[in-house]
Amino acid sequence: MTDDIQRARELLDHATAVAVLTGAGISAESGIPTFRDALTGLWARFRPEELATPEAFEANPKLVWDWYAWRREAVANAVPNAGHWALAAIERQCRDHQVDFTLVTQNVDGLHRAAGSQRVVELHGNIRRVKCFDHGHAVDRWEASEQVPTCPRCGSLLRPDVVWFGESLPSDALAAALAAARTCDFFLCVGTSTVVEPAASLPFLALQCGARVIELNPVPTPLTPHATVSLRGTAAQLLPALSRQGQ
């Protein structure tokens, strides 16, 4: 075990309230492409910021629907990796020791719950759900076809139930994330480029409120110079050691 992992483990062992923020990087080893590292194949010529907006959907609903259909398929075929399992194990350890635990994720893939995490705050929605564009009616089933499907209640086009650039985050999820960042004394930030607000501010809020902030990422990010400990590597490699599963 490296000194950095050892140090992070000691801080975790002494924590009284733990908050975790995850981004696309934790699901990379489950085969789900991250946003900024890899848009491959068919989608390599698009930037997510150009597809994940209400304006993009209004301008070209078919293009945006198809991009999400491609991501939904990747998610449907994915299973949690060792990083997801390790975070679920850390939550169980916290619960056993009456340590408060909240997992905040920017991911829309549902893999944390699939791995057994229970206290999960989904900041950006969930790609497995669909709602209508005009009124937000939740829709359970739709026919796959060449056209973008429509809402059985109002006839407007269906879209994924995820947060797009320029849209507000679900207020209860944001409130829970802010509360966790303010009240924790150990904040773990895994696999996020920390560039998309407001999630990117959560580790900085935790730092301001006195928490130790541990970053895990294969490459440096804007958070790195401020982090108490920087763990350099992948989630599936390093999180099992942090959770004691790696011993």
Catalytic residue positions?
A: 124
**CB of 80 or CB of 99, closer to ligand OAD:** 80
Shortest Å, Cβ 36 to ligand OAD: 4
Structure tokens belonging to residue 44:
């390599």
Q: Which residues here bind ligand OAD, judged by CB under 6 A?
A: 23-26, 28-29, 34-37, 48, 52, 106, 124, 162-163, 191-193, 196, 217-219, 221, 234-235
**CB of 72 or CB of 183, closer to ligand OAD:** 72
Shortest Å, Cβ 81 to ligand OAD: 8
- The secondary element (H helix, E strand) that includes residue 11 is helix 3-13
Shortest Å, Cβ 91 to ligand OAD: 18
Burial classification of residue 52, based on how many CB atoms lie within 10 Å of its CB (0-12 exposed, 13-18 middle, 19 or more buried): buried
Q: Are 121 and 104 in contact (CB under 8 A)?
A: yes
How far from chain centre, in Å, is Cα 60? 26
**CB of 102 or CB of 221, closer to ligand OAD:** 221
Shortest Å, Cβ 48 to ligand OAD: 5
Shortest Å, Cβ 34 to ligand OAD: 3
Give the DSSP letter string of 84-124.
Answer: HHHHHHHHHHHHHTT-EEEEEE---S-HHHHTT--SEEETT
Q: Are 139 and 151 in contact (CB under 8 A)?
A: yes
**CB of 102 or CB of 107, closer to ligand OAD:** 107
Alpha helices in the chain (DSSP H): 3-13, 48-51, 54-59, 61-76, 82-96, 111-114, 171-183, 202-208, 235-242
Which residue of the chain is nearest ligand OAD when measured via CB? Answer: 25
Sign of CA dihedral 194, 94, 207, 104: positive
Q: Report the distance separating Cα 136 and Cα 216, nearest Å.
A: 36
**CB of 144 or CB of 219, closer to ligand OAD:** 219
